[in-house]
Structure 1
């Protein structure tokens, strides 16, 4: 053992100058630090600080949703967005045994229900070993010694050089603990239907907190490098992976399309909603695909877009909104020739509509309104469930033709008391994903 290694472990061995050492009857601060470390309480001091440090490192510059130390599968939301699930540092990834069985079960199921988006979960787990715990204990011990020195409760019996270096020792211990978070959380586990238990383990390798990247970004980079995550998708990719069962109809519900990117059928996307909205508007504008809404019994749709510009708001991930193969979309948009099949006629502009009861015609104004005059309409009332989807397709576009449109919502729903907490958490997550959480209040009854 070298003198430098001996000095780092000894309680009575001090360095003098650049290459000298002195043995003294006075103990170094390392002995006090070791004593304080031995007095730390695991449940109230060590584990909370471990969790706090892990959380801080993963939060820094995070570009994905994060879930912290879930106690059970119900604590991990089933949302259509890539989510890093940070497993408690007291757990260790051994590669097999109970921890693997638990992750496999929690990936496929949430509580008693199958997950809709199992491939959205990325489990981040710590390697086996006590390294992180030891580094955190030393950091806490140095902090306590620093506090005692500043309070004057210790210090008189120690070498002045030891007291001068205390701040540097605390900073070094903190940096070492942070580095151990990076080095310790080296496993990412994701769903892969090609594996026997549907779990794919990715070893992130050694990491360092000063590497210039973020810890969550490191996980994302590894997924991309392994081919399990993509920034975007092209029209060719979607067409090549069109479900065989939907080839004849030529229509793929957008709710099912989005789900395919998060259930292991297709490549993962960091934010499927944002990526698909952007790409679908491009696909429709270029004529690569069409978009349709509200399938009718005769196989036509209430509205079809093809080779035209559309707003991103029209791309709604509902079962009544469809991505169309271009041949299907073109056929629906082309007017029929003699003897051709039935094409959906344009909506009637008659007033009143056929079959409606007597409606009084508005009386014409006695004189034309002055230039610049405006009128404000307020629309309110109860909407039956069967036409909720059509509100966004029919009413909202009409209202947007005016100016200063403001939309407020009011919902009332009853849920089982046993599911109420999870329901509220999921609802908050959905509103957060839509950037609406700060605008919409949730008031439990």
Structure 2
């Protein structure tokens, strides 16, 4: 169902289901210039900053992605988890889960992990920097995002490849081939639940001052997480931490390859890394839009919105709205908040860990890999939904290469 009224025909039309659709296309920019919203084959899209800010917090909208399994006639292990988990719960239930999960993401615990992020980034860079080139997703983004999660949940880093492979398979559920891939998706999800149960059993015997122990302690609160909710949250933390962080680190690198002056600036000023992460996530978030659904009829800025209407909030379009942001990519600019981690009651609970691990990685990458360029054609996920590089071949100059007398040819 979509909002309809007499002047709909004058409102731009966008089709995010078209395989060639790009959230950064001229069509989207033209639509944003013409109107704060656009019609789509399913519901409407919000394109401008002010309207996005209001809609993402609107009391008559709920998280929209809970219906995804139903759209695919899916009812297996992944589908049941997707509907149960915090992301797709509402009201008091959502607030309770978020409150109980919050201590596991406390600033003190995140700060305690920073030395490990630094050591991990250093180890991975050392492994390829002398080569003067690498396939960045394979050599850095994938292992870094996955091993951060291994560190977070307290399992051996030797398991990182299994975690990475399981996350890729589980991620097929969010694509157009979900129905075809459901058996594989459910097998991967079942394996992650078995891992979560094993971790919890181990930590109950041998508590630590860490993420999982903090969740287990919340499990004993008077409003307690049930064991199922505990496992659901751990699986969400593993899957979400790997899948989105890997893609986002790839988008960070791609953005800087395309803006070499900003990379040089960051290399000379590593303290800009935190604002660099924010600037990339403003313009190239891996989650290009978030979805809401109207829980009752209401009117917004003269547009009647019927109960059940799907609202697509186009994060990238809103966060480059020229009424609120000066054009361009500038890691020194003081910007308004972006929507790369969602917003409102459903903002990403793990955003502080993601910000911290990407910031530490970026500090070292910019100091060690100089003048990066593409070394071949990257392969990309579609530029809509959850996006990012599949492969990112790059070449660079490094101090190690220079000392060997074999710098990259210009």
- Asked if TM exceeds 0.5, the reply is no
TM-score, normalization: structure 1? 0.19
TM-score, normalization: structure 2? 0.21
Q: Which has the larger radius of gyration?
A: 1
Compare relative contact order (CA 8 Å, sep 6+) and give the higher one, 1 or 2: 2
Q: Considering fraction of residues, name the structure with more helix.
A: 2
